[in-house]
Structures are given as C-alpha cells and as structure tokens.
Structure 1
C-alpha cells in the first residue's frame, strides 16, 4: 500500500498508521537485511522507531518522565534518524524522511536552527505539506521553547501565504487550541471566546475549507474536526455546526483527545450536541 502511494500524494497518514502499529519493529529488521538497498523498508523502520520512542517517553511533562524513559526515548530516536538519513540519501526527492527528521529533531532537542533547516528541506520538496507545517508549529510553541507570539505568527504566515483552499488553514486553529491548553481553567475559556480569536478562525476557515478550491483529500477530515473543536470552544455555534455537518459523524482522535483522552468520540458528540447538530 505504501509503495502504491507516491510521495507526491503525501503518504504521511499511511506511514504514521504503520509507525503506530506495535510489532513492526520486530519484523522490519529482517526486511532491511533482505533488501539492503531499498529505501521504503528503511522509511518504515525510521517512522516506527519515532512512534516507539514516544511510547517509551509517554506524553507526560518532562518533569514526570524518568531518566530511564528518556534514555530509551533518545536511543530509539537516534536509530530513527540513522534510517531516515539513509532514506534521504537513496531518495533525495522524497519528502517523508525529512518530515520524520523534523519529529526526531524535536525529541532530541536539536535546536531551532537545525529544526528550521529540516522544515525547509521538507517544504522545498512539498511546499504545502501539512505534517511538516504542523511539526514546525510545535517547534515554535511555548512548551517547546518558542512563544505564543511566534506560534501564531508562523500559523498565520503559513496559512495565508498559501493559495486558497489548502489544508494549512488548520494551523491557525491548532495555534489557538495550543494557547488554550497552556492556560488554567477559566482563563482558557475566556481566551477562546475573545472576539479576535473567533475572527481569526473565521478568516482561516474562509481561506481553507470554505474556499471554492478546497478538495476533500488527504487529512481534510482532521482539518474539519480541528475547526469544529476550535469553533465550539470559541462559542461560534453556527461555524461549529457547519464543520460537524461536513464531518458527518467521522471523528479523528486529534484534537478531541484534548477534551477526552480516553474517548475522543464522546467529546465530539458532546460538542456536536451543544452546537445543535
């Protein structure tokens, strides 16, 4: 399936589905040995080691992650980097290895300059690659050493610097959700209900999924789910209802896991009901 989905059609979602599958790390080693010159098995191995690394680290804050967990995390990410650089050498036009290196770079704390170069290497090959922009947005988030101002500026520049109808409008919604997550209960809701937040979400929606050139392909469903949650938190029921109608009951784990980590679909249903859909 991966081989039939060319890089030009963005196989990020498929790769991550493989990467999140337990046990891939056990049998992929035999494939690498059997096909020493093949790029795709190395790509799979690299992506699996990224996901496997984050499994060891968990999603906890750094102060709640043990030294042993960090050692396993970094060891697996370094293995991933080895595989991904080998893929990049074999297939210099491929986007996926550089996208993977953006993720490993954040975990290994390579610093903003190296992270920026990896992002630029990805978008040189695919200027509107959603995953690459999502990774760079995380890189400039406050929790990863950036700031809210830098995060919002990057989101707006990426979204509105792209032609109308791309998926990159999602970055604006993600940035607002990220700031909402950083705030305590009470101030978080007050932030999302600011008129300027609602206005920026509507502008991003107009330039993205509401644009006549928008095509429902790739990660479009995740984009609509993200806007559905952002508009719900902002209290814009009409816009949220529009998104819920477009998703037609199809729920993506992100971003609803931020509202209910154990049952994202329950969070979706609750907000959909509140929006009157």
Structure 2
C-alpha cells in the first residue's frame, strides 16, 4: 500500500480527501460530489487501486534521468577523473552520425562537467582541437550563460565557442542546436534564427533536438505564440519519419499551452475551454504521441521524456486510462522535464502523480465490473457508473 492509499484509507473514516499530486491538478472530485457518490468513489478506490499497480515499476526502483547503458559507464569513469570513455562515446556518435544520441550525450556530459570539471579539464588539455571537446565546451558555456542573471551578455561572449563547435564537424547538426539555444537566449530576431534553422535542417532534416529548440523559440513564452508553436509542431510532425520523436512536437506544444494556463483554472481534465488552440488539436496531439509511444518497447529510455510529457498532457485532458498506460510504459525512467516545471521535487512529483492517476482510474471502475471509462472518456464521465 502506498502512502497515498494509506492516507486515503484512514481518511475514509473522517472526511472526503482531495488529492493534489500536482500543485494545480486536482485528482479527486470526491470533495465536490454528493455524499453517496463520494462514498462510492472511496469504495472503488480501495477495491481497485492495488491491482492497478500491476505493471508499474516500484517507487524505489524509479530513477530520475537515468543514463542509458552507453552513457552510464562514461559518467562513472568521468567521476573517477577518466575522460577516455566519454571521448570514445562522442567520437563513436560522430563517426556513425548518431545525431540524436550525440545530442543527448553532449547535454548530459556538459551538465556533469559543470559539477565535476576535473575530467573535462584534463580532456581539454590533452585534446584541445578535438571536435567533441569543442562541442561539449560550447554546450557547457551556453548552459552557464542561460543560468546567469547576466544571461544575454554572457551568451554573446560565448558565441565564438559555438562557432568553433560548428566548424569542427561541418556535417554535425548538434552544434546548430546549441546555436539555436544560444540565439533564443540572446534575443536573436526571427530572420537570424531562421538562418540558423536553415543550417541545422540542411545537416539533419528530422533532428529532434533542433526541432525542440525551434519550438521553444516560437513558443508564447519567448518570441512566438501558441498558434505559431502549434502550426510549426503539426507541420514538422506530418513530415517526420516513422518512429521519429519529431512526431511528439505537437504534444510538446500542448504542454507549453497547458503550463501557460492559469493554475487557478488548470484542474485535471479541464484544459482551457477557449483560447488560441482548440481542444480537438490537444487531443490530436496526444493521440499522435500515443501512437509514437507504442512504437517503442516498455521501459525504453529513448522516448522516456516524450512519455513523461505525454503523461502530463493526458492528465490535464482527463484521460486517466491512457495516462496510466503511459506510466506503465515509462517504467523506471522518470525525467526531470516536465515535472520540474511544476515542482521543486520532480521525482517526488512523478511518483505522487502515479498514485493520483491510479486512484482516479480506480474511482471510475465499477465495484463489480472491469475497467472504468475508456481511454477517450474524460473527467466528466468519471461518475457515469453509479453502481
């Protein structure tokens, strides 16, 4: 029994419980139900919640941003001061043009170099002209600039490092993803960003990292709008290769819109009733991401962030069954994004959300029946079975 279930069981003797696994998402409607329905919902939760845990990775086995089997040894070696495995990993990704992996590995190695710089300093000293060193150095400098109060000024100062990374391996799209992030931070005008975007897609037309960088630039939070963001995402997804994570761009656009919703009105199952993007497009974005998710094995780390983003969106749409299925597919791979956008404890937030979704599905399952409302049933159907 989870802590949430234990609290629920004890509270049934007192008053109905409101569950808030996300600060602005209410997972239980018990507090707003007539008393008979509230009692029935509690009974359903207590009866069905334990079996709905089947297929979910135990809480103590879920890891936040766990590295894959290739990156993990490189990080362990770097922690011991040995840059060799990291150098081999990035060299292999460059030589085999594994641009998606190269991008992910660069981000993780740069983050590690920021907290544990010794190994990277040794690598830089021993191979100052290595294109992989140049790439990690550029990513590290841009990340530092982004996190500084003097962001624009610092980012302008590191522009030569980004240019050096791009020149070091002319066919590599990853330095251009770094350049796109750099341009967003410096407030580059649309025409300058478009030039960088053209260089990026010329090297890899379907590179996910470059597409997400462009999506951020076009978002309402930066230099675009929700309409512009969705239009870009939908066009890119329609043009994407089968199984490409670019097909998840619309659900990322949906996430941006939902995170921008006033927390006072952003309850689970209640996305904006009106706004720049209709609910039908949010639903279509979720459906496309679900189809993409099914193309990968359960517990695969490659689509883990997409599945975490999709889960958030499904919860906001009130699609509890679909959300529970994605939580099973995520397995042990919780990711900081998007949970760090709503909590200072992303892993705790993820685990609490799992409990909340499971209890919500349980409350919609008839006491004597099988599954509750179908995947496309929304929060207004949770009380449909009043028996």
TM class by smaller structure: 0.7 to 0.9
1:243-274 per-residue CA deviation (whole Å, 9 max, x = no partner) reads 101011321000111221x2111221222222
Alignment pair present for 1:166 and 2:257: no
Equivalent residues of 1:228, 1:240 under 8 A apart: yes
* Greater alpha carbon shift after TM alignment, 202-211 vs 177-186: 202-211
> Which of 286, 310, 315 is the matching residue for 1:232?
315
Structure 1 position 192, deviation (Å): 5.7
> Which of 171, 193, 203 is the matching residue for 2:287?
203
Equivalent residues of 2:247, 2:292 under 8 A apart: yes
> Which of 119, 122, 130 is the matching residue for 2:200?
122
Distance 1:265 1:245, change over 3 A: same
Alignment pair present for 1:39 and 2:131: yes
The separation in 2 between residues aligned to 1:198 and 1:92, in whole angstroms, is 38
Give me the TM-score of the superposition, normalised by structure 1: 0.83
Structure 1 position 80, deviation (Å): 3.2
Distance 1:86 1:117, change over 3 A: same
- Computed over aligned residues only, the root mean square deviation of the Cα atoms, in angstroms, reads 2.5
Equivalent residues of 2:304, 2:335 under 8 A apart: yes
Partner SS, residue 268 of structure 1? helix
User: Who is 1:66 aligned against?
Assistant: none
The separation in 2 between residues aligned to 1:29 and 1:191, in whole angstroms, is 48
User: Who is 2:259 aligned against?
Assistant: 181
Unaligned runs of 5+ in 2: 1-85, 360-387
Work out which structure has the larger RCO, using CA pairs closer than 8 Å and 6 or more positions apart in sequence.
2
The separation in 2 between residues aligned to 1:268 and 1:88, in whole angstroms, is 37
Equivalent residues of 2:245, 2:292 under 8 A apart: yes
The separation in 2 between residues aligned to 1:206 and 1:254, in whole angstroms, is 18
> Which of 97, 106, 109 is the matching residue for 1:18?
109
User: Who is 2:74 aligned against?
Assistant: none
| 1:71-150 correspondence to structure 2 within 5 Å | 73-150=151-228
Equivalent residues of 1:165, 1:210 under 8 A apart: no
Equivalent residues of 1:19, 1:44 under 8 A apart: yes
Distance 1:37 1:163, change over 3 A: closer
* Greater alpha carbon shift after TM alignment, 119-128 vs 227-236: 119-128
Q: Which has the higher helix share?
A: 1
Distance 1:188 1:92, change over 3 A: same
The separation in 2 between residues aligned to 1:144 and 1:91, in whole angstroms, is 30
Equivalent residues of 2:297, 2:329 under 8 A apart: no
The separation in 2 between residues aligned to 1:27 and 1:46, in whole angstroms, is 16
The separation in 2 between residues aligned to 1:215 and 1:76, in whole angstroms, is 42
User: Who is 1:4 aligned against?
Assistant: 92
User: Who is 2:356 aligned against?
Assistant: 274
Unaligned runs of 5+ in 1: 57-68
1:186-212 per-residue CA deviation (whole Å, 9 max, x = no partner) reads 43343268752552134312552234x
Structure 1 position 27, deviation (Å): 7.2
Partner SS, residue 93 of structure 1? coil
The separation in 2 between residues aligned to 1:147 and 1:119, in whole angstroms, is 18
